Structure 1
Amino acid sequence: MVVESIPKAAGFIYGIIAFAALAWLWYSGRFTRRRALPFLAASVFFGFLVFAPVFPYQFQLLVLRDAAALGSPLPMAIVGLLAFIALTLVFGRIVCGQVCPAGAVQELMYLVPVKKRGRAESRVPTAVRAGVFVVFLAAGLGLSVNLLALLGLPAFFNLTVATVSFIVFLGIVLLSAVVYRPFCRYVCPYGALLAPAASKALYRIRRTEACVNCGKCERACPTGAADPSAGAGECYLCGRCTEACPIDGALVYRRANAKNRLPLEE
């Protein structure tokens, strides 16, 4: 379905606009899961229309040094990907949460009303993420192997249905109805870079002194990031914790040094 006549820059322009709008919604306290739905739908649409801004695949092409497939000079691509890492250091994983088509399609699939995998087992060990990232780099830099193509990321959004790779990624998407964002959390190489950035984000969801430790946010969080012992690296800013919180003002998206506000990870 990807329309080759439309420049991929259109997808990145959308990504910048969507990021800015979502950051404003969070900053102003107006973000809700319902308001996120149009962004999720638009991101998936741009994924199928121009296959952009699919950040993990753009990062894959950068590792392969494939400027032709990127559609831009390598230095420009590097600047763009570094810019979104910098934005994640400020605002958290908005890119992963609602802007990246690969993440958005999984987020929408998780809304399917089926039994979910136990949240008590939802955390992904750092060693697993690091190991997958090392394999990704070794395959790309050392062997010039496009692992994300083998996993079917481009085949899925190009709707090349008569391929094994399409079926592989379709399986990942279907799995995301039960397991929250399996591609983002276990495989995505760009997400592996954004997670440590998000863990140090200037703005993120934090508990305030109004928190009564009822635990509802922790039970609602599909990644375990709301647990006091966890960091914010795997917080996708989905809004489930703030939606579940029964106390107005107990969970807020603010800076760490804001008055009367405590870190989420106590």
Structure 2
Amino acid sequence: MKKLPRWIVQSFTTLITNLNLKGFINGTLYRGKLKSVCVPGLNCYSCPGAIGSCPIGSLQSVIGSPNKKFSFYIVGILLLISTAIGRFVCGWLCPFGWFQELIHKIPSKKFSTKKLYKLTYIKYIILVLFVIVLPITIVNELGMGNPYFCELICPVGILEGAIPLAIANPSIRGALGWLFTWKFIVLIGIISLSMFLYRPFCKWICPLGAIYGLFNKYSVYHIALNKNKCINCNKCSNACSMDIDVIKNQNHSECIRCNECVKSCPTKALKVKFGLKESEENQSEKISY
């Protein structure tokens, strides 16, 4: 059976997570029971089409609540997804990840980010500081912390929420202020970078990708290398838009499971697997029989 192209899965996922199409016309949000369910990718709660909640937004809401309760549901969902498929979400199921890829297809000179690898640690700083620490420590008179990542950094809220709502709803247009202007500048910056660099937001900024990336090495869904078949041609690493040395680390925290490395391997040394990882010794024994 022929596998579906990744862009079809990405477009289908984007549609499924934004099924409230009438919201784009009415300028209103869906507030049904499904809105309490977290979707796996970064898709803004304030998007008029969204039928689910963003896991990062939901996590901040709980962390910033007056009671500072620990949400077993949200953390459990994140752990379940992380240990099952890791950053497969980023490569296949995230609407904003797909949006960056579409922008990257605009004809222009493309640049590698290998020399900028240290910038990938920024997203972990953002996860700790803006998603966890600030909502806990900076609170209002009611003891509530703001979702600082959503308010100050995340461009998805502007792209999916503020812009379509402002187009459809005149009252919202009149209420836009400096925060909208700032976030719009951030969005334009991400769009501009995406033309020349592959997925800059995913590489350097996204805290959701940071969470999933921490579990890439341990996720049930993984990429395995058979060293007996590998000829060290480096075609896999050259095919990786996330600038990973695939031969050294097939399940790097930056791997979004796009599987281009697997497709590029001339000897089929790389394979996508779903299950417990086997040791290199076991793989070698299988080849010898």
TM-score (norm 2): 0.65
| Contact 1:120 1:224 (8 Å CA) reproduced | yes
Q: 2:266 is matched with which residue: 246, 250, 255?
A: 246
Residue equivalent to 2:173 = none
Deviation at 1:157, TM superposition (A): 0.4
Post-superposition Cα deviations, 1:84-105, rounded to whole Å, max 9, x if no partner, equal 4323223231222221222222
| Contact 1:172 1:183 (8 Å CA) reproduced | yes
Moved more, 224-233 or 93-102: 224-233
Q: 1:173 is matched with which residue: 169, 191, 206?
A: 191
Question: How large is the Cα RMSD of the aligned pairs?
Answer: 3.2
Residue equivalent to 1:156 = 159
Instruction: Measure, in 2, the Cα distance between the counterparts of 1:237 and 1:93.
Output: 6
| Contact 2:58 2:74 (8 Å CA) reproduced | no
Where does structure 2 lack aligned partners over 5 or more consecutive residues?
A: 19-42, 139-144, 167-175
Instruction: Measure, in 2, the Cα distance between the counterparts of 1:222 and 1:63.
Output: 34
| Contact 1:153 1:166 (8 Å CA) reproduced | no
Post-superposition Cα deviations, 1:43-81, rounded to whole Å, max 9, x if no partner, equal 444245217453333333343339xxxxxxx87x64245
Post-superposition Cα deviations, 1:118-151, rounded to whole Å, max 9, x if no partner, equal 2432534565343222221222221224222222
Deviation at 1:226, TM superposition (A): 3.8
Residue equivalent to 2:65 = 65
| Contact 1:114 1:177 (8 Å CA) reproduced | yes
Q: 1:63 and 1:210, CA in 2 relative to 1: closer, same or farther beyond 3 A?
A: same
Q: 1:108 is matched with which residue: 87, 102, 106?
A: 102
Where does structure 1 lack aligned partners over 5 or more consecutive residues?
A: 1-27, 67-73
Post-superposition Cα deviations, 1:135-171, rounded to whole Å, max 9, x if no partner, equal 2122222122422222233121014266312342243
Percent sequence identity over matched residues? 23
Please say if 1:232 is aligned against 2:252. Answer: yes
| Contact 1:218 1:224 (8 Å CA) reproduced | yes
Q: 1:79 is matched with which residue: 73, 84, 97?
A: 73
Deviation at 1:237, TM superposition (A): 0.9
**1:85-234 equivalence runs, <5 A:** 85-121=79-115, 123-124=117-118, 127-136=121-130, 137-143=132-138, 144-145=145-146, 146-151=148-153, 152-160=155-163, 163-164=180-181, 165-208=183-226, 209-230=228-249, 231-234=251-254
| Contact 2:242 2:254 (8 Å CA) reproduced | yes
TM-score (norm 1): 0.70
Instruction: Measure, in 2, the Cα distance between the counterparts of 1:97 and 1:115.
Output: 23
Instruction: Measure, in 2, the Cα distance between the counterparts of 1:156 and 1:113.
Output: 22
Q: How many residues are paired up?
A: 224
